[in-house]
Amino acid sequence: MQTVTLNNGIEMPVVGFGVYQIPPEQTEQAVTDALAAGYRSLDTAASYGNEEAVGRAIGSSGIPREDLFVTTKLWVSDAGEDKARRAFDTSLRKLGLDHLDLYLIHQPYGDVYGSWRAMESLHEEGLVRAIGVSNFHADRLVDLIDHNEITPAVNQVETHPFFQRTADQELMRERGVQIESWGPFAEGRNHLFTDPRLSEIADGHGKSVAQVVLRWLVQRGVVVIPKSVRAERMAENLDLFDFELTDDQMRTIAAMDTGASLFFDHRDPAMVSRLGNATLDS
């Protein structure tokens, strides 16, 4: 598995397995299948409600802890220095681990600075190997960097052919932050899996559209965490390293960018209020 080196020297696999929207009762089997397929990076969150199932799969896998890269995320309702520390302890207990590889602030709302102070302490204590953020637009990311000691190692944001985040990625590169894609397939919106441009490229390489999209992201230096509950699709999503897109093919996909989210704008006041006041029970 190829890796990227984060700003503190930690290596992170470029392809991981995401468990967003996998029901808790299906998560343990899905993670077990993903680990069997060769995934060694797992991405969950407190708000997904499936950390315990992820932990059970890790515990029964027999894979040495040092071979795994485990990420989870802090939800908005637990923002703040004291609450973030308690939320971390809860996540760690649910996962059955003694440390995390990456801990992210899930949304850029609430007491972000208090949360970041707690995460800096967790990092200094060796309980987290790297800390980062998710869904931070450039202005919020730069503000956090400029007023704290530790620069986020990762910013996990919506990134796919229809919302490519090239300017955001360049700023992150300049600031030493690794971009990570959530929703690499845009959940199939805009008919992604049947798009004629992607289909033509896929046919030329004897690959699927999903593999082309993931290869395009990885080739751009974007970490990806595709989700599937089908073992054969999990294996397919890992099979990205025996082909390379040409410059023309990269430009073809680049031309698909709409420059806008297909889900929601994290700077829309109504969405800010909705997410910022959502509890884990919401």
> Cβ distance 20 to 236 under 8 Å?
no
Closest CA to 156 of 220, 115, 104, 112: 104
Cα(233)–Cα(229) distance, integer angstroms: 8
The CA-atom distances, in angstroms, between 34 and each of 13, 109, 132 are 14, 32, 24
The CA-atom distances, in angstroms, between 260 and each of 158, 160, 265, 275 are 10, 11, 8, 19
Mention every residue, 6+ apart, whose C-beta is less than 8 A from residue 171. Answer: 138, 141, 142
> Cβ distance 193 to 161 under 8 Å?
no
Residues written for the chain: 282
Find the catalytic residue in 48, 103, 109, 113.
Answer: 48
The CA-atom distances, in angstroms, between 269 and each of 135, 259, 276 are 15, 19, 10
Question: DSSP H helical segments within the chain, as ranges?
Answer: 24-37, 51-61, 81-95, 112-124, 138-146, 166-175, 196-205, 209-219, 231-238, 247-254, 269-276
- 48 catalytic? Reply is yes
Cα(30)–Cα(18) distance, integer angstroms: 10
Cα(96)–Cα(224) distance, integer angstroms: 24
Cα(81)–Cα(66) distance, integer angstroms: 28
**CB-side exposure of 205: number of CA atoms within 13 Å?**
22
Tell me the catalytic residues. Answer: 48
